[in-house]
Amino acid sequence: MTVIYNIEDSWHVITHVHGSVWPHVVWTCVAMSALTTVLFVLKYYYHFDLTFNVAGNTYLSLIVSFLVVGRAQNAIQRFWEARGAVGDALKSCRELSLMIIATTGRETTEEANLFRLLVKKQLVKLLRSTMEVIQDEGLSLRLMQGEIDEKDKCVYIFDSSRISKYNDTGHITDPLDVAGALYTILERNDEFLEKPIHFLRMNAMFSCISKFIDTYYHLTKFTTTPIPFAVGNMGRTALVVWIFTIPFVLVNQIDELVACVGLVFAITYAFVGLEFVVIELHDPFGDDPNDIEVERLCETTIRGIEKDLMGCNGAYSTVSYEPERRISLARPSSEQQHPPQKVLRRSTSDLSTTADETSFPGDEEALSSGQQQHRGAGVFLMPQKSFQATHDCARPMSEISPLLSTAV
């Protein structure tokens, strides 16, 4: 789990061990301190001097500082870039689910529910397979290089029965195959919906999938393309040589044992600790305390998608902010295939007529009793509109449409 801390609490930040580099660097610090103590005793007690001048070590320290600090900055930048890519992937899937329910939420037929069910399953599979790939460097590398046999993949098919199937013998899910199946389901929405999705909205949904694919390739960059080996090799070698020579230089310059040991300990902690920070942040999708919690973030998004598309079982969540302004998602019965009616309420004080509710035929009995029946499972709000009735109207309100009725 990612370490959450209060940056203003300095004492807690300094003394908190979990998530810090102390468990990794402490033994190196102890070893360098012990070497410093041995060199100090040999020089000042046994007059056996193994130390050397500080001049050469000074030039090496400049190179090491540049390499270590530069690599640490790159690692931190790489970490935040990976976190942003994970957020983009999750956002694309959640945005698509919201588009689906907003576009198809009015239809409650079994076919429409099946359509949302298929989309939900593919979105969940898309997220989980992606997170599985980016957390496994070997699998990600084999997928990107095409080294996996097709018979080992779960192949998604959209057959004539409109049921999404996959190869039961396969055990590897390629997120691109899932994205392809999702494209196919959306493209064939007219087989499920009474009113097919408009092509502009379809383009917006396809854009979400396209953005996810772009983000997927971006995420695989972190697992398939590490920091160039030459940079890591040079930095690590220079750091080890410099840290090992620090005790020989400081014992030559400082004649106090405690001060010399303490300084070596602090220098070792600073530079070796930065190197361990680079190592830990190099793989941002692992299970270290400072890694990104991709599994938790993924499951949170999946729960949101399931909540958005829970209409696939015939029930929609209710969204209500103004109880008097609702639109029912109920589908009219087969005997009442009429357009929705506008029920207008006229104010006798200022002759203003305000759009109050929209309902399907068959709800008149509920309206007369003052309560709107909302079948289906949910209600969505519509922007409030006002209509001003004046004496200059060309025709009386009763003649505008036989569908209008006046509520007392």
- On whether residue 408 sits in a domain, the answer given is no
Same domain? 49 vs 166: yes
Asked if residues 123 and 93 have their Cβ atoms less than 8 Å apart, the reply is yes
Q: Which of 316, 345, 375 represents a domain boundary (last residue)? A: 316
pLDDT tens track of the chain, all 408 residues?
Answer: 677 888 888 888 888 888 888 999 999 999 999 999 999 999 999 989 888 887 777 888 888 989 898 999 999 999 999 999 999 999 999 999 999 999 998 898 999 999 999 999 999 999 999 999 998 888 888 888 877 776 667 655 555 445 444 444 456 788 998 999 899 999 999 989 999 999 999 999 999 999 999 999 999 999 888 888 888 899 999 999 999 999 999 998 888 999 999 999 999 999 999 999 999 888 899 888 889 999 999 999 999 999 988 754 444 433 333 333 333 333 444 444 444 444 433 333 343 333 333 333 434 443 343 333 333 333 333 333 333 333 333 444 444 444 334 333
Same domain membership, residue 96 and residue 34: yes
* Residue 171 within a domain: yes
Which residues on neighbouring strands pair with residue 355, listed in sequence order? 344
Q: Per the domain annotation, does 294 fall within a domain?
A: yes
Residue 131 domain-assigned (yes or no): yes
Between CA 79 and CA 99 the distance in angstroms is: 31
Q: How far does CA 117 lie from the centroid of its chain?
A: 22
Tokens of 365: 């009995």
In a domain, 405, yes or no: no
* Whether 239 and 363 share a structural domain: no
Burial of 163 (C-beta count, 10 Å sphere; 0-12/13-18/19+): exposed
The residue type found at 95 is E
Alpha-carbon distance 126 to 365, whole Å? 46
CB atoms within 10 A of CB 240: 14
DSSP conformation class of 312 = G
pLDDT of residue 141: 83
Asked whether residue 406 is domain-assigned, the answer is no
pLDDT of residue 150: 66
Q: Establish if 381 belongs to a structural domain.
A: yes
281 plus 262 within the same structural domain: yes
Phi-psi region of 19 (alpha: psi -120 to 50; beta: other; left: phi over 0): left
- pLDDT score, position 156: 54
Domain identity same for 216 and 154:
yes
Any domain includes 81: yes
Please check whether residues 227 and 373 belong to one and the same domain: no
- Tens-digit pLDDT profile for residues 98-117: 999 999 988 989 999 999 99
Of 316, 344, 378, which closes a domain?
Answer: 316
175 with 126, same domain: the answer is: yes
224: left (phi over 0), alpha (psi -120 to 50) or beta: alpha
- Do 91 and 158 belong together in one domain? yes
Q: Residue 153 gets which letter from DSSP?
A: B
Element (H, E) at 268: helix 257-282
308 and 336 belong to one structural domain: no
What confidence score (pLDDT) does residue 188 get?
Answer: 92
Contact predicate 201/99, CB 8 Å: yes
Task: Note down the domain range covering 276.
Answer: 1-316
Return the pLDDT at 336: 45
Name every residue whose Cβ is closer than 8 Å to that of residue 157 and which is 6 or more positions away in sequence: 164, 165, 166, 181
**Residues 172, 154 contacting (CB under 8 angstroms):** yes
**Are 352 and 386 contacting, i.e. CB atoms less than 8 angstroms apart?**
yes
CA distance 285 to 170: 25
| Whether 266 and 384 share a structural domain | no
Write the DSSP symbol of residue 95. Answer: H
List phi, psi (to 5°) of 10: -65, -40
Co-location of 143 and 292 in the same domain:
yes
Last residue of a domain, one of 253, 281, 316: 316
Residues 70 and 213 in one domain: yes
Q: Find, among 323, 336, 338, the residue nearest to 370 by Cα.
A: 323
Q: For residue 41, how far is the Cα from the chain centroid?
A: 57
Split into its structural domains, the chain has a count of 2
Strand partners, 406: 344
- What are the backbone dihedrals phi and psi of residue 359, each rounded to the nearest 5 degrees, phi first? -140, 160
* DSSP-assigned letter for residue 106: T
Phi/psi for 197 (5° steps) reads -65, 135
d(C-alpha 181, C-alpha 160), whole Å: 14
Question: What is the CA angle 21-24-27, rounded to 5?
Answer: 125
Per the CB < 8 A criterion, the answer to whether 249 and 61 are in contact is no
